[in-house]
Structure 1
C-alpha cells in the first residue's frame, strides 16, 4: 500500500488559492511576523543579537531566575526549542542555566553580567524601532490586544 495520501476528488481551484492568499489569518500573521522579525533583526545586529534572542534575554530579565518551563510558556515555545535557543546564548556567556536547589528536576535561567550588558545595548535600539513601527499603525493597542486573544488559544 502506498504511503502517499490519495488526492481529493477535486483539487482546490485557483479561486481558493486567491481566497486563502487574501483572507487567511494564519498566512497574514506569519507574513507579518517574518517582516517584523527581519526589521528587528536588522536593527539589533549592532547589539549582536537577533529579535528572537532579544525576546529570550528580556524574558530572563527578572529579580529571580525563572524556570525553563515558565520561560517556555511565556514565549509559547516547547521546552526542547527553548533549550536549543538557549545554547548559543549560554556558549556566548550571556545566560546561565542552573539546577534549582529546592527541586533538582527544575532548571533555572539567569542573565550573566554580559547578558545584562547586551540587553542594555539592545533596549534603546528596540525602543526606537518599536516606536517607529507603532507610529505606522492606526491602532497598535488594538492590534496587540487582538494578537493576545489569538495567542491565548492553546489547542
Structure 2
C-alpha cells in the first residue's frame, strides 16, 4: 500500500479512501502480504483488469486528441515538466507539491 500510495502521489489514508469503492465494485481485492503480515497487497480482479484495459484505451484516445489541439511538442514538454515537479528530487528540495 505504501508503494502504491507513493506512485499515485497520495498519502496512505487518501489511497485507502479511494480503494474502498473499487473494492466494493469488484475491481480489486486486498490481501495480506506474504512476506510482511502487517502490510496489504492490492490486486486487480478480472473485472479490474478489463476496466484497466478500457481505461487505457480511453486515455490514449484523450492524449491523442489533446496532442492534436495542443501540439505534440508542447504536450511532450508539458509531460516532462510535470514529471520533474513530481520527482523525488523536487519533492525533497521543495516539499510536497
The whole-number CA distance in structure 2 between the counterparts of 1:121 and 1:141 is: 23
Q: Name the counterpart of 2:40.
A: 107
Q: Name the counterpart of 1:142.
A: 77
Match 1:124 to one of 52, 57, 68: 57
Match 2:6 to one of 69, 73, 76: 73
Compare relative contact order (CA 8 Å, sep 6+) and give the higher one, 1 or 2.
1
The whole-number CA distance in structure 2 between the counterparts of 1:150 and 1:123 is: 23
Q: When the two structures are superposed, what TM-score results if normalisation uses the length of structure 2?
A: 0.83
The whole-number CA distance in structure 1 between the counterparts of 2:79 and 2:58 is: 20
Count how many residue pairs are aligned between Structure 1 and Structure 2.
88
| Deviation, structure 1 residue 102 | 1.1
List gaps (5 residues or longer) in structure 1: 1-67
| Deviation, structure 1 residue 127 | 1.4
Q: When the two structures are superposed, what TM-score results if normalisation uses the length of structure 1?
A: 0.54
RMSD: 1.2
| Deviation, structure 1 residue 110 | 0.8
List gaps (5 residues or longer) in structure 2: none
User: Which structure's CA Rg is the greater one?
Assistant: 1
